[in-house]
Amino acid sequence: MPYRAPTSEYTFLFDAVVGFDQLAATDRFAEATPDLVTAILGEAGRLCDDVMAPLQRSGDLQPAHLENGVLRSSPGFPEGWSAIAEGGWVGMNAGTDHGGMGLPLTLATAVNEMMAGACLSLQLAPLMSQGQIDALEAHASDQIKEIYLPKLISGEWSGTMNLTEPQAGSDVGALRSKAEDNGDGTYAISGQKIFISWGDNDFAENIVHLVLARLPDAAPGSKGISLFVVPKFLPDENGNPGRANDLKVVSLEHKMGLHGSPTCVMQYDGAAGWLVGEPHAGLAAMFTMMNNARLGVGGQGVGAGEGAYQHALDYALERKQGRSASGAIVDHADVRRMLMEMKADLFASRAVLLSCAHAIDMHAATGRADQAARAAFLTPIAKVFGTETGMKVSETGVQVYGGMGFIEESGAAQYYRDVRVTAIYEGTNGIQAMDLVGRKMLDGGEAAYALIDEIETLAESARSNHPNMTDRLWQASEALREATDWLVTQEDMQNRFAGALPYLRAFARVLGGYYHLRAAVADPEGPRAKLARFYMSRLLPEYQGHLAAATAGADGTFALSLDELRA
């Protein structure tokens, strides 16, 4: 499908909205100069446009499949992976000690999102490897790092994570996979894992699985889980793939979308694995990978939304119907409304993603606790807002097409089918929202209030030039402050959880207004200000309904008995 990587959008966001120059001013990221960033965005854009985008449709129509127990990738995917690997894109923000570029996660987030817009099924493969690289860099022994990190970073090997089991989904503590000490530094891993994205492929020399399992003396629940690195082929004395490990792909899931990305049922039968981190501390190590993935999944949502928007815009510009200035449907008011909403929300959610990544980078570069708190608070918002934007924009794209959107040949429906799972995996959006109002508010709301103060500071400084927008944003931020006050006083967590998702959505809406205002300040007479005014008048007011639901308490949610629910 035709696709144009939004490189200029990222250049503007870096320069005028997110503050990328703050990263380049640190010792850690001093090499991330404007010239280098421009060059990287340009090369990544060409990869997305010329190599990955042509694979979007073929991956959907010719899915990955098992052939006599051997996984066969969609046509063109091996070549696509080679281009990604040879360009160094897998290890963009990995440490330089093992061959990574050491670039900011903020820049890697932009590249990953562009790749997701070009071909989400294929982009999921390097995203999985990047998460594993993060986990191994933070928790693995030096021996494991020396063997695995150079191969993963180069793309010679690919990585996965294995959490879910038939009886253990979001409740990872219920897993039953076991690990027994072999007495030689390895462990025998046994059990079955489901929903393993890119659990196998035919283009990497080795597939490295990170597997959660229990040691014999493990405590029940999440405190008794350990993490193991379990390769498809055991490395020989030279670190090259040797004999096959005792694991296999049992089957592939038949999915609503993402057909080019094989989602595997994995069986481990005493497979050799090596402990990552301390015994019984596997969940903490895996969360290093999960947090990377949550930000990445938010980017997948925005990327899929960008692809859907471009697809719908092209159709609206060409489709002749009814009376309008151009003769095309793009000049019908309702079609224009849909396109404006799509574009405004893509900008807002993209800005939230980059701000979250920016905070992660600033903490890594400076060690500042306030940046760590900011990153932690923004992570669930970035994941939920990014994925919900992707779903909404992709669904709206079908509507722009009208009847043709419901016909598979148009390709419009694929974006929605592909992106729908992003609201489910790496922690459902509901769980993300509960985390926001639960663990992320153990500080009494300090991180939330810091963001609200930042929003109001901008609103006050921009009031003279943009009075209507700043007044709307100020009122929204004050309402958000009052709702935050209410939430942090609720000792009954059900009251918080019942309104968690509406609260997160309200916060995202207000943050979207904040970033649109920053864009308008930087481009006061141009298209950025026009789009910001649209957002402030048409989309920002949604916060009111969200906050009303967020502070309604849990009584209404549990008003019907189980019998009444069944009636």
User: What are the tens digits of pLDDT across the range 21-63?
Assistant: 999 999 999 999 999 999 999 999 999 999 999 999 999 999 9
* Predicted local confidence at residue 174, as pLDDT: 77
- 247-252 and 65-67: which strand pairing? unpaired
Confidence band of 286 (pLDDT split at 50, 70, 90) = confident
Lowest mean pLDDT: which of 117-131, 151-165, 319-333, 457-471? 319-333
Calculate what percentage of the chain has a pLDDT beyond 90.
Answer: 90
* Predicted local confidence at residue 169, as pLDDT: 67
3-state SS class at 20? helix
Whether 290 has a pLDDT exceeding 90, the answer reads no
* Predicted local confidence at residue 269, as pLDDT: 96
- How high does pLDDT run on average in the chain? 95
Confidence band of 2 (pLDDT split at 50, 70, 90) = confident
Number of helices and strands (H, E) in the chain?
Answer: 20, 11
| Model confidence pLDDT, tens digit, residues 499-520 | 999 999 999 999 999 999 999 9
Confidence band of 291 (pLDDT split at 50, 70, 90) = confident
Confidence band of 167 (pLDDT split at 50, 70, 90) = confident
Strands (E), 163-315: 178-181, 187-197, 206-213, 226-231, 233-235, 241-244, 247-252, 263-276
| Model confidence pLDDT, tens digit, residues 460-510 | 999 999 999 999 999 999 999 999 999 999 999 999 999 999 999 999 999
64: closest CA among 258, 249, 244, 231? Answer: 258
181: closest CA among 213, 224, 141, 144? Answer: 213
Site of tokens 């020399």: 205
Quote the pTM value. Answer: 0.96
Contact in structure between 268 and 287 (CB atoms under 8 Å)? no
Q: Which of 165, 306, 341, 426 is catalytic?
A: 426
- How many whole angstroms separate alpha carbon 349 and alpha carbon 297? 12
**Average pLDDT of 64-77?**
94
Contact in structure between 233 and 245 (CB atoms under 8 Å)? yes
**Average pLDDT of 457-461?**
96
Q: What is the DSSP letter of 320?
A: B
Q: For residue 558, give Cα distances in angstroms to 171, 499, 555, 563, 564.
A: 22, 12, 5, 12, 11
**Average pLDDT of 396-409?**
96
| Model confidence pLDDT, tens digit, residues 210-237 | 999 999 988 888 788 999 999 999 999 9
**Average pLDDT of 300-313?**
98
Whether 292 has a pLDDT exceeding 80, the answer reads no
Neighbouring CB atoms inside 10 A of 72's CB total: 17
Which contiguous run of DSSP H or E holds residue 259? none
Calculate what percentage of the chain has a pLDDT beyond 70.
Answer: 99
- 426 classed as catalytic: yes
365: closest CA among 106, 11, 38, 85? Answer: 106
342: closest CA among 511, 107, 534? Answer: 534
* Predicted local confidence at residue 284, as pLDDT: 81
Lowest mean pLDDT: which of 278-282, 358-362, 525-529? 278-282
* Predicted local confidence at residue 1, as pLDDT: 63
Site of tokens 């906050």: 547
